[in-house]
Amino acid sequence: MEQSQLSALFNPKSIAIIGASPDDQKIGGRPLSYLQKYGYEGVIYPVNPKYEEMNGLTCYPDIKAVKAPIDLAIIAVPKAVVLQTLKKCIDQQVRSVIIFSAGFAEIDEEGEKLQDEISQLAKQNNVRVLGPNCLGMFNVGKGVYGTFSTIIEDEKPLKSNIGFVSQSGAFGSHVFTLARQHNIGFSYFVATGNECDVDVADCLEFLANDPDTDVIACYLEGTKVGDKLIRALKLARENGKPVIALKVGRTSVGMKAALSHTGSLVGADEVFDTVFRQYGVYRAETIEEFLDVTYAASKLPFPKGNRVAVFTVSGGVGILLADQLSANGMTLPETPKQVKEKLREILPIAGVQNPIDTTAQISYMPTLLEDFMHSVLSSGEYDSALVFLGFAGLKLDSLQDRISTLKTMQERFKDIPQIVVTINSQESRKMFSDAGICVIEDPSRAVTVSKALHYFANREEAVSEETLLPEKQDIFGPATLLTEYGSKKILKQFGVPITEEKLAKTAEEAIQFANEIGYPIVLKGMSPQILHKTEKGLVVLKLKDNEEVRSEFERLKAIIAETEGAEFEGVLVQEMLNQESVEMVVGSKKDPIFGQIVMVGMGGIYIELLKDVSMRKAPVSSREAAKMINELQASPILRSYRGKPPYDVAGLSSLISQFSHFIVTYEDMLSEIDLNPVMVFPQGQGIKVADGLMTLEKQVIHS
Amino acid sequence: MEQSQLSALFNPKSIAIIGASPDDQKIGGRPLSYLQKYGYEGVIYPVNPKYEEMNGLTCYPDIKAVKAPIDLAIIAVPKAVVLQTLKKCIDQQVRSVIIFSAGFAEIDEEGEKLQDEISQLAKQNNVRVLGPNCLGMFNVGKGVYGTFSTIIEDEKPLKSNIGFVSQSGAFGSHVFTLARQHNIGFSYFVATGNECDVDVADCLEFLANDPDTDVIACYLEGTKVGDKLIRALKLARENGKPVIALKVGRTSVGMKAALSHTGSLVGADEVFDTVFRQYGVYRAETIEEFLDVTYAASKLPFPKGNRVAVFTVSGGVGILLADQLSANGMTLPETPKQVKEKLREILPIAGVQNPIDTTAQISYMPTLLEDFMHSVLSSGEYDSALVFLGFAGLKLDSLQDRISTLKTMQERFKDIPQIVVTINSQESRKMFSDAGICVIEDPSRAVTVSKALHYFANREEAVSEETLLPEKQDIFGPATLLTEYGSKKILKQFGVPITEEKLAKTAEEAIQFANEIGYPIVLKGMSPQILHKTEKGLVVLKLKDNEEVRSEFERLKAIIAETEGAEFEGVLVQEMLNQESVEMVVGSKKDPIFGQIVMVGMGGIYIELLKDVSMRKAPVSSREAAKMINELQASPILRSYRGKPPYDVAGLSSLISQFSHFIVTYEDMLSEIDLNPVMVFPQGQGIKVADGLMTLEKQVIHS
């Protein structure tokens, strides 16, 4: 339903332009001009009371005068009359609307209120609205130009299989122009503006379903609709479409700038990062990377593995490529012996070891490149090829030869992505483009592309994670912060292994429990108001007998009694863990955009100083949890390290998975949980949560 | 002396071309053609027995026929006659020679021998030889073209203040061509080929002294002359010339490729990295970065601090820039309040907070950019400016306005480096270039440039490190590996604090020493053949009385006795350290190229798993050592971390400095030293080396 309205927006059969103008320098003139000159085949209804006819079309005084169904209305009128115009569109049963006009939420509170009204009208009447304050969109294949952008005024945009959504018009325009300079086109270009209704996730979902789009590029500043975004990303993955995202606001400085730019919620960047990786999105850091990777993904197959054959006219660049490929997880397997011999026969001075150096002889021996590439690639030992041709792109007289060879190779080795690197001129770019060859202008950028293709080839399969969430029960009391005792009691109900422990209200009880558990014993004073027990002196270890338990019980109780505002919950009598173990931390936090996030790290300074943490949007399977552990820099410590036994990674993985399901079940109630430390014992001996703290959402109302 | 010969090579008053040809497609024809068409003002002597006249010049049958002093002879003859040609040059007292011919060390052993002969002849006769197997050099200012490269056949190279040395001809050609495309010229271009005499360090030294060169760019694969390279880098720094290096062979894969390419010693990459940082060289990772940084350094002043003002036509790119600048150590201070108000007056819809968003209005308000830049930069709150203009470079009609503004700003704020970012065409590049404006084509690349300028501004001053090395004594015995006892005894002589300890040969002695030192005590069995004491069970801690010392002494002695080939040196009786401390590791290794390198890291997995190590070429001052410590990721642990006291960083710094002087003094004898652990006590309480191992060079012959 929503999506069919979106197709009215992106692929309308009829378009009304409200505020149309015959002047193609005016905001209402440009879409009309583009639609007419770039071959839109649907019906256009210019609306402007000042004209009866416009550019050979009947012009209507008012949208109400159009007595025909309208798929899309473009609103190019002053802010003051936007709302009434929209209402007329709704009366007219227009299916979708683009609002160019600015002056809404991006300006002031009044604008925000007006925008909210638009948003509500749209939702109530099932009209999809793109904007306001937006550059609009275009659909190159169908000649739909719902935009006033000047980026397409000189030339008709090129068509390709790349759909591009941008949360910034200026950013989108820049990327479009850069792409145009490199002969790269798009299927769709959408700038989402203020996103009062249609948002970036809607557009991604549309492109994920669109048959003309194979690759999706997306510029993001933030989103309010985490779940919807994830749904769209999952859909793209299911449909085999790579998504490349450039998201800004990585640092606190950038985030501050993003806040002042968009005025909207930005969200923790590392959570975006996590979500991108989890759903197979490639995150580009720079504009060049964004465009290079998008372009390559739209042209080339994904490699079957990480084995790269490098062909180079410069030994030096060959070394550079070898360095950077291997630093990015690719390998350069040795040239097979027989192939080496063959290459030597062809050219004795060649560097026959991968990276393969054709030397400058490539200019004098017309078949050298083909002979070399054919010999090497037909060995079956390589999954992709990188061909560095120096400045061949500037030598137009010999370039055609080179391009013929490369085209032949591409046809002969269809499954092997082949990336060509050369400095180009405008002419040579077009020659490569016409030949369907992926050319990149810098070796290091080609390495990034190679890494990205490999990333897409290795994205997780879109497994349908049948999530078995525990049944939700009323397990939390009225407090917003649970003590170690309260937190662990709840976790225990869900099968999480915790230390053996009991809460004693009196010294007598404490002694009884200590004897049941067995000495030595740990005592911890519990008060919901005291977060940092150790600093308050509320933890005592290694108590050996009843006498010690009695006196320490009283001492702990007294400390709490003396602390202002602190209630005494009791004293926790806990087993003393003496086994060989590694201390890990498992935790959760609730991201305002994506919800419950599960984290794991090694205890102590690993998390604090070295930021050695791995996270995922919850829930995760045990298998995914094992991957999280593996991503930690310190993870070798959990394996057989320095002669120590391997630790129970399976137990830890299973805890993380269980825990992640728990936090999703109580998503709305939980704010943050910190299980610290989680003791991981040697393999087969499991794990135990030794301490933990749960913070609940304040607004939870208990039934 | 050597350098004056180099000036004969780089700036010759007379040039003989042996193997000269009137055909400018021949290897011996090109230099003649270039010299003539690009305005060489010295004397040219073509040498070729087949001609009496060549291109209007007298041609000589033999170099001996030239009866005049020759500064430079270019040898462009077949390999077989190179040696005899060189000998004739020597007889003729030619001062320098370039050998284009290939087929020497890069091919086979025979070639290597021939090359060695050339090398010896050069040194014996004080003739400087560039090559063989080299593309040659050119000096644009003086029109000296000692090259057969085709990269300059179409156009005369542009002149600038950038000197460029490349160890690879093909790499150099590629960079030259890319630079040419961006209107970037050079003072000198040198490809060093096989470096049989003139090497990359010679060229750097020449450029460091050359008045026409302000910036030095260098492509490196390796060097055999570490000290000479360091000397040249120091000289460049003293003369205030930034050096930008692109060194390949960073990874083991790349290093292998480099070995097979150059056939020469490559050296540990992290040591190159260390040396570069230590001597203020900027290391570029990619070709684009190499050229961008070199070019910017040749055009712009260095900023006085890290405060950047960003002007942008796209809010999105502004955020991207804010992210990347801050991730690279730059700050974006808030726009001062009064300036904000002024900007708002000029353009109410502008984003007045830094990054400052001019919006697309910049196209409609001719003075907007100037008004904004002037207001912001004259506040004195910014050290550099970054101006993102989107695709203004493709809009030639309005570009001239933009360029005038930028030129005015550059003149008005001479001390503030201003980097402009826009997509360019060939035409706009030239316009920026003619106006003397530094333009970069991608925002992220501009950030890298900004970081690099800041790096150069903050290079260490070229302090004359008056190194006080300890007097060299004969302190090592005949062994190549010293035990903990032997190693620490030597260090102690040089004032390094070590644990209190004595070597006992008998149990009685051990008991006596234990009582002198005081219980509890540590015993360690010493044998030069047993490296890993702990694994062999040769370390016992916390011995409490004479009885324990006696029995443990015997047990340790027995373990050594039972180990095949192990000599018993004694049992080390050592104080038991119980003080609060942090365990660090200090060590040295001898790099084959740069000599003694000193290292520091935190003990345990920090070094092993996390590779958290800091190193320098030795010796270092205490101040430099403190910086090394600060560079460690784990260094906060040494400061007041988690309520613990700060540790004795001053003591550790002083140890590192002392130790670094020690290893330099015994440079030739020492192979590797590992002081592990070094116990660092709370501030004011010093440090102690608790264990250590010294490996000596095998070839040391003792007097």
Question: A324, A359 in Cβ contact below 8 A?
Answer: no
Of B251, B314, B636, the CB nearest to A609: B636
B396 touching A (Cβ < 8 Å): no
Query: What residue in A sits closest to B317 (Cα-Cα)?
Result: A171
Of B174, B317, B327, the CB nearest to A171: B317
**Do A114 and A81 share a structural domain?**
yes
B639 touching A (Cβ < 8 Å): no
Query: What residue in A sits closest to B154 (Cα-Cα)?
Result: A395
A189 touching B (Cβ < 8 Å): no
* pLDDT of amino acid A703: 39
Query: What residue in B sits closest to A104 (Cα-Cα)?
Result: B349
Q: Which of A180, A220, A323 to mutate against chain B (most B CBs within 10 Å)?
A: A323
Q: Minimal Cα–Cα distance from A410 to chain B, Å?
A: 25
Q: Which of B 268-327 lie inside 8 A of A, CB atoms?
A: 285-288, 313-320, 322-327
**Do B556 and B524 share a structural domain?**
yes
Which parts of chain A sit beneath pLDDT 70? Answer: 1-3, 261-267, 460-468, 699-703
A610 touching B (Cβ < 8 Å): yes
A192 domain residue, yes or no: yes
**Do B291 and B416 share a structural domain?**
no
How many Cα atoms sit within 13 Å of A112 on the Cβ side? Answer: 7
Of B181, B319, B637, the CB nearest to A257: B319
Residues A323, B171: C-beta atoms closer than 8 Å: no
Residues B254, A170: C-beta atoms closer than 8 Å: no
SS3 B524: strand
For residue B397, the tally of other CB atoms under 10 A from its CB is 6
Instruction: Estimate to the nearest angstrom the gap between the alpha carbon of B495 and the chain centroid.
Output: 32
Mapping DSSP onto H, E and C, the string for A362-418 reads HHCCCCHHHHHHHHHHCCCCCCEEEEECCCHHHCHHHHHHHHHHHHHHHHHCCCCCE
Kindly tell me if the per-residue pLDDT of B518 is higher than 70. yes
Task: Sort out which chain B residues have CB atoms less than 8 A from A164's CB and list them.
Answer: none
Mapping DSSP onto H, E and C, the string for B345-412 reads HHCCCCECCCCEECCHHHHCCCCHHHHHHHHHHCCCCCCEEEEECCCHHHCHHHHHHHHHHHHHHHHH
A477 domain residue, yes or no: no
SS3 B16: strand
B558 domain residue, yes or no: yes
Residues B391, A260: C-beta atoms closer than 8 Å: no
**Do B99 and B16 share a structural domain?**
yes
Q: What is the DSSP letter of B635?
A: G
Query: Which residues does B139 contact at the CB level (< 8 Å), separation at least 6?
Result: B10, B11, B187, B188
Residues B316, A167: C-beta atoms closer than 8 Å: yes
Structure tokens at A135: 């550059």
> What is the domain range of residue B227?
158-299
Question: Mean pLDDT score of chain A, rounded to an integer?
Answer: 93
Q: Which of A288, A320, A582 to mutate against chain B (most B CBs within 10 Å)?
A: A320
Residues B167, A391: C-beta atoms closer than 8 Å: no
Which range (B302-311, B325-334, B690-699) has the least confidence? B690-699
Domain containing residue B504: CATH number: 3.30.1490.20
Concatenating the DSSP letter of every residue in A538-549 gives -EEEEE-SHHHH
B442 touching A (Cβ < 8 Å): yes
A472 domain residue, yes or no: no
* pLDDT of amino acid A700: 44
B476 domain residue, yes or no: no
Query: What residue in B sits closest to A286 (Cα-Cα)?
Result: B444
pLDDT in tens, A352-375: 999 999 998 898 898 999 999 999
Residues B319, A285: C-beta atoms closer than 8 Å: no
For residue A110, the tally of other CB atoms under 10 A from its CB is 11
**Do B387 and B347 share a structural domain?**
yes
Q: What is the DSSP letter of A323?
A: H
Of A219, A261, A316, the CB nearest to B351: A261
Between β-strands A96-99 and A128-130, what pairing exists: parallel, antiparallel or unpaired?
A: parallel
Q: Which of B 203-242 lie inside 8 A of A, CB atoms?
A: 219, 221
Question: Mean pLDDT score of chain B, rounded to an integer?
Answer: 93
* Check: complex ipTM more than 0.95: no
Residues B253, A221: C-beta atoms closer than 8 Å: no
A344 touching B (Cβ < 8 Å): no
Task: Sort out which chain A residues have CB atoms less than 8 A from B353's CB and list them.
Answer: 257, 260
Query: Locate tokens 């036509």: which residue?
Result: B313
pTM for this prediction: 0.93
Which one is predicted more confidently, B610 or A329?
A: A329
Last residue of a domain, one of A406, A430, A457: A457
Cα–Cα distance, A20 to B212 (Å, whole number): 61
Let me know the angle formed at the C-alpha of B629 by A639 and B638, rounded to the nearest 5 degrees: 75
* pLDDT of amino acid A397: 87
**Do A118 and A4 share a structural domain?**
yes
Q: Please list the residues that pair with B522 across neighbouring strands.
A: B574
Query: What residue in A sits closest to B609 (Cα-Cα)?
Result: A634
Of A324, A332, A391, the CB nearest to B174: A391
Cα–Cα distance, A309 to A335 (Å, whole number): 8
**Do B255 and B218 share a structural domain?**
yes
Q: What is the DSSP letter of B414?
A: T
Let me know the angle formed at the C-alpha of B179 by B174 and B180, rounded to the nearest 5 degrees: 100
How confident is the model over B376-393, as a mean pLDDT? 97
Residues B423, A288: C-beta atoms closer than 8 Å: no
Concatenating the DSSP letter of every residue in A604-648 gives THHHHTT--EEEEESP--HHHHHHHHHHSTTGGGGSS-TTPPPB-
What is the band of B366 on the pLDDT scale with cuts at 50, 70, 90? confident
Kindly tell me if the per-residue pLDDT of B641 is higher than 70. yes
Q: Minimal Cα–Cα distance from A174 to chain B, Å?
A: 6
* pLDDT of amino acid B535: 85
A102 domain residue, yes or no: yes
B41 domain residue, yes or no: yes
Of B166, B246, B637, the CB nearest to A609: B637
A-B CB pairs within 8 A amount to: 218
**Do B338 and B291 share a structural domain?**
no
* pLDDT of amino acid B464: 47
Residues A423, B181: C-beta atoms closer than 8 Å: yes
**Do B444 and B328 share a structural domain?**
yes
Task: Sort out which chain A residues have CB atoms less than 8 A from B391's CB and list them.
Answer: 173-174, 177-178
If one counts the domains in chain A, the total is 5
pLDDT in tens, A178-204: 999 999 999 999 999 999 999 999 999
Cα–Cα distance, A166 to A135 (Å, whole number): 10
pLDDT in tens, B526-568: 998 988 898 889 999 999 999 999 999 999 999 999 999 999 9
Residues A319, B221: C-beta atoms closer than 8 Å: yes
- Which H or E run includes B500? none
Nearest to A461, CA basis, from A232, A697, A301, A624:
A624
Residues A174, B423: C-beta atoms closer than 8 Å: yes
- Which H or E run includes B53? strand B53-54
Domain containing residue A439: CATH number: 3.40.50.261
What is the band of B254 on the pLDDT scale with cuts at 50, 70, 90? confident
Of A178, A357, A423, the CB nearest to B423: A178
Query: Locate tokens 């087949």: which residue?
Result: B50
Q: What is the DSSP letter of B480?
A: S
Residues B287, A444: C-beta atoms closer than 8 Å: yes
* pLDDT of amino acid A267: 67
**Do B437 and B310 share a structural domain?**
yes
Task: Sort out which chain B residues have CB atoms less than 8 A from A443's CB and list them.
Answer: 286-287
Of B246, B249, B326, the CB nearest to A251: B326
**Do A595 and A549 share a structural domain?**
no
Q: Minimal Cα–Cα distance from A231 to chain B, Å?
A: 25
A250 touching B (Cβ < 8 Å): yes
**Do B190 and B116 share a structural domain?**
no
* pLDDT of amino acid A265: 52
Last residue of a domain, one of A555, A575, A595: A575
Query: What residue in A sits closest to B220 (Cα-Cα)?
Result: A316
> Given 3-state DSSP classes, what are the helix, strand and coil percentages for chain B, each rounded to the nearest 5?
40, 20, 40
SS3 B569: coil
For residue B381, the tally of other CB atoms under 10 A from its CB is 15
B152 domain residue, yes or no: no
Task: Sort out which chain A residues have CB atoms less than 8 A from B425's CB and list them.
Answer: 426
Last residue of a domain, one of B437, B457, B477: B457
Concatenating the DSSP letter of every residue in A330-368 gives -B-PPPPHHHHHHHHHH-TTSB-SSSEE--GGGGT-TTH
Query: What residue in B sits closest to A634 (Cα-Cα)?
Result: B609
Domain containing residue B87: CATH number: 3.40.50.720
Concatenating the DSSP letter of every residue in B110-177 gives HHHHHHHHHHHHHHHHT-EEE-SS--EEEETTTTEEEE--GGGSSSPPPEEEEEEEES-HHHHHHHHH
Residues A605, B260: C-beta atoms closer than 8 Å: no
